[in-house]
């Protein structure tokens, strides 16, 4: 049975033309079949089942797969055939690997041909290739000597889900947050120039990342410096590009070629010698306008870049000539506009690019992702979204803001019900915060839902535009603490430290789902200054949920268990571990009080005094860095003289290092923030140790 690409159907069993219908048709026929039959199905879909080229390929061998001169036409044709075969193999390897590990799929599938073309044309790693964010870097990792470990992606001790300098010389700049590649590339280009070297620097950035101001700041600076830098704009949302095709490919090849550029330089020099200065500027503008009219890119030209494109990012016949031309350019910054398709070559990802941007483990045949087990508690993100929806039903002044993470923050659900009250500002956290400040200044109640790690990017706006003006912006801080597979670039480690030092802000952390609902209600009720509440990634504890949260008394914690020897004061979602630690301590004759602080600012001083005066040991536990909740507690104890009576205090925070990706449970154990770590801290404070048999003895 053969797949006929011309009519999109299998000859013996005709299937509708669209990619998704083809895929579903094949799936219907092959569900429950043997591995051999499923392999046949994948081959029919166009995925190679044996890797003939990918096993041995590295960038050097990719560069050898096509002659630089086009004289040997037959050799070029054969080389292009091999590159296309390699692209098919690389695409299937990426799909198969991510189906096992989970991760970012759609963006990587969209740059398979571009990745091969870049490594084919440029002399990596001598030429510096920088991938913005790193979502699309999996094919790059496979081609650069890491294929044997690609199924360890995002696992403990495995490959990072992003580019990482310590992992490979081909990862020239680490990333995890967006829109940094042009700035880093410009720095590398200037360093090259200062060192008298001549290698290329290439930054690949997506159209989504171009919504961040940092990208334009870098381009503006690059245009002024005029250092030789190549920026590849990967436009996979069609948000920038006009239509692409044979004419645009021809124009891109023409204006990137040496003949056009030499003629352009000749006319420029002639104008400088013969024309008055104002006419010279008019002539330059006329040429720029004419080129921009036919190709687009006027904005980039205004920023000082020589614009080339748009070109089809899946067509080697278009990519290779343009990249070769660009490689030989010696003057100024250049932007190559490449149009790609997210999820290219995998029908489920082509149809649902949003769902296949970041995925869990999935079935390659059906595209179905692993579902949570029945009865699994809802995620904190979902609880937040539902709680905010209930508050918004009762108060029409409540609005929600996200910075390009509607599904990640749960605000896509809010937008379905209140589309006019939900704002996705793009990858623009600085703007999001000040935008929220403007809404608050006019009497609205903005909730800015931003991951902890991304809120770092808007700290000046939090201070200058919100806190100083006492504006009631509510920060819903998702992904607080350690985040598992995304590793240190996405860990929510620092928000308590950098927020609780600001005058007038209320800082909360949810111990469970109900507490999160109460904190949403509390933030909605605060109208005299900014507030923030943090909550972790993942599933909740499974406690029964009310219909709507109830506002908490500001600055008041709660005691969950009374003891006499040890006090465990938790801030955030480590409360469950504190309760388990208390159970273990009770078995050793050390009855423990367990308290939930709820607030890092303002602190519950009555609770602190009670814990300090009535226990021998006080241990604080938080999912954040030093300088946060524990530091504030210690400062308050010292100020009140509560350390003068011999109280033994231990502060459990994240260690002073970045913790690499792993399962969250393993990461928290490594940080000493699980029940055994808490028990060990108590024993250390008492000058005791517990041996392997569990017997307590003096240290």
Active site (catalytic) residues? 342, 429, 457
The helix or strand, by DSSP H or E, that contains position 317, with its residue range, turns out to be: helix 316-328
CB atoms within 10 A of CB 548: 16
Is it true that the peptide bond before 680 is cis, omega within 30 degrees of 0?
no
For the chain, give the longest Cα–Cα distance. Answer: 96
The owner of tokens 């209600």 is 521
3-state secondary structure 139-156: HHHHHHHHHHHHHHCCCC
DSSP structure class, residue 510: -
Dihedral sign, CA of 229, 230, 236, 237? positive
> DSSP label at 492?
B
Residue 486 — φ and ψ, nearest 5°? -80, -10
Distance CA 122, CA 39 (A): 35
Q: Are 295 and 255 in contact (CB under 8 A)?
A: yes
Q: Judge contact between 369 and 100, C-beta under 8 A.
A: no
* 3-state class (DSSP) for residue 560: strand
Q: Which residues fall within 8 angstroms of residue 567, CB to CB, at 6 or more apart? A: 592, 593, 595, 611, 612, 614, 615, 617, 618, 619
Burial class (CB within 10 angstroms; exposed 0-12, middle 13-18, buried 19+) of 229: buried
What does the block give as tokens for 361? Answer: 């483990």
Residue 308 CA to residue 295 CA, distance in Å, equals 8
Identify the residue whose tokens are 């465990």: 568
d(CA 33, CA 41): 10
- Mapped onto helix, strand or coil, the DSSP state of residue 139 is helix
Q: What is the C-alpha separation between 254 and 260, in angstroms, rounded?
A: 7
Any idea which residue has 């597979």 for tokens?
485
């Amino acid at each position: 049975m053969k797949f006929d690409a011309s009519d999109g159907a299998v000859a013996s069993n005709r299937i509708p033309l669209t990619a998704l219908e083809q895929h579903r048709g094949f799936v219907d026929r092959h569900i429950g079949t043997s591995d051999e039959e499923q392999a046949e199905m994948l081959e029919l879909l166009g995925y190679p089942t044996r890797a003939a080229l990918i096993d041995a390929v590295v960038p050097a061998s990719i560069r050898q797969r096509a002659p630089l001169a086009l004289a040997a036409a037959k050799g070029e044709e054969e080389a292009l055939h091999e590159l296309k075969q390699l692209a098919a193999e690389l695409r299937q390897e990426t799909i198969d690997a991510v189906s096992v590990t989970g991760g970012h799929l759609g963006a990587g599938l969209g740059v398979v041909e571009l990745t091969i073309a870049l490594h084919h044309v440029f002399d990596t790693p001598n030429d510096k290739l920088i991938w913005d964010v790193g979502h699309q870097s999996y094919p790059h990792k496979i081609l650069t000597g890491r294929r044997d470990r690609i199924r360890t992606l995002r696992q403990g001790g495995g490959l990072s889900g992003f580019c990482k300098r310590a992992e490979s010389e081909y990862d020239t700049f680490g990333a995890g947050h967006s829109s940094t590649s042009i700035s880093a590339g410009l720095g590398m280009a200037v360093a090259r120039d200062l060192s008298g070297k001549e290698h290329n620097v290439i930054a690949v950035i997506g159209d989504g990342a171009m919504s961040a101001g940092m990208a334009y700041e870098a381009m503006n600076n690059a245009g002024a410096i005029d250092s030789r830098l190549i920026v590849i704009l990967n436009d996979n949302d069609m948000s920038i590009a006009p239509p692409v095709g044979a004419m645009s490919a021809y124009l891109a090849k023409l204006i990137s070629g040496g003949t056009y550029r030499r003629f352009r330089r000749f006319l420029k020099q002639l104008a400088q010698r013969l024309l008055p200065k104002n006419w010279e500027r008019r002539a330059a503008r006329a040429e720029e306008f004419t080129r921009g009219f036919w190709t687009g890119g006027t904005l980039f030209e205004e920023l000082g870049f020589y614009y080339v494109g748009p070109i089809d990012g899946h067509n080697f016949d278009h990519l290779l000539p343009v990249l070769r031309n660009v490689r030989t350019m010696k003057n100024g910054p250049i932007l190559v506009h490449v149009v790609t398709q997210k999820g290219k070559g995998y029908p489920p990802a082509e149809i649902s690019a949003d769902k296949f941007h970041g995925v869990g483990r999935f079935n390659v045949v059906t595209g179905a992702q692993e579902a949570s087990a029945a009865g699994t508690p809802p995620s904190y993100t979902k609880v937040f979204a539902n709680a905010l929806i209930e508050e918004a039903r009762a108060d029409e002044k409540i609005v929600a803001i996200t910075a390009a993470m509607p599904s990640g923050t749960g605000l896509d659900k809010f937008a379905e019900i209140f589309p006019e009250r939900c704002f996705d500002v793009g990858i623009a956290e600085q703007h999001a915060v000040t935008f929220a400040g403007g809404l608050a200044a006019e009497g609205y109640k903005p909730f800015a839902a931003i991951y902890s790690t991304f809120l770092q990017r808007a700290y000046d706006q939090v201070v200058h535009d919100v806190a100083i003006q006492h504006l009631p912006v509510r920060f819903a801080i998702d992904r607080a603490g350690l985040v598992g597979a995304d590793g240190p670039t996405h860990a929510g480690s620092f928000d308590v430290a950098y927020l609780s030092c600001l005058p007038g802000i209320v800082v909360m952390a949810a111990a469970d789902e109900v507490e999160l609902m109460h904190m949403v209600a509390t933030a909605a009720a605060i109208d005299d200054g900014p507030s923030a509440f943090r909550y972790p990634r993942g599933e909740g504890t499974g406690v029964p949920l009310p219909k709507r949260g109830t506002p908490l008394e500001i600055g008041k914690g709660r005691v969950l268990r009374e003891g006499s020897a040890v006090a465990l004061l938790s801030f955030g979602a480590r409360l469950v571990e504190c309760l388990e630690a208390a159970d273990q301590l009770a078995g050793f004759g050390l009855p423990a009080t367990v308290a939930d602080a709820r607030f890092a600012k303002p602190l519950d001083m009555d609770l602190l005094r009670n814990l300090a005066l009535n226990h021998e040991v006080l241990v604080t536990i938080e999912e954040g860095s030093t300088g946060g909740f524990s530091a504030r507690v210690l400062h308050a104890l010292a100020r009140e003289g509560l350390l003068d009576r011999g109280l033994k205090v231990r502060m459990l925070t994240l260690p002073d290092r970045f913790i690499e990706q792993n399962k969250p449970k393993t990461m928290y154990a490594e940080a000493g923030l699980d029940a055994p770590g808490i028990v060990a801290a108590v024993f250390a404070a008492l000058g005791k140790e517990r041996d392997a048999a569990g017997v307590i003895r003096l240290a």
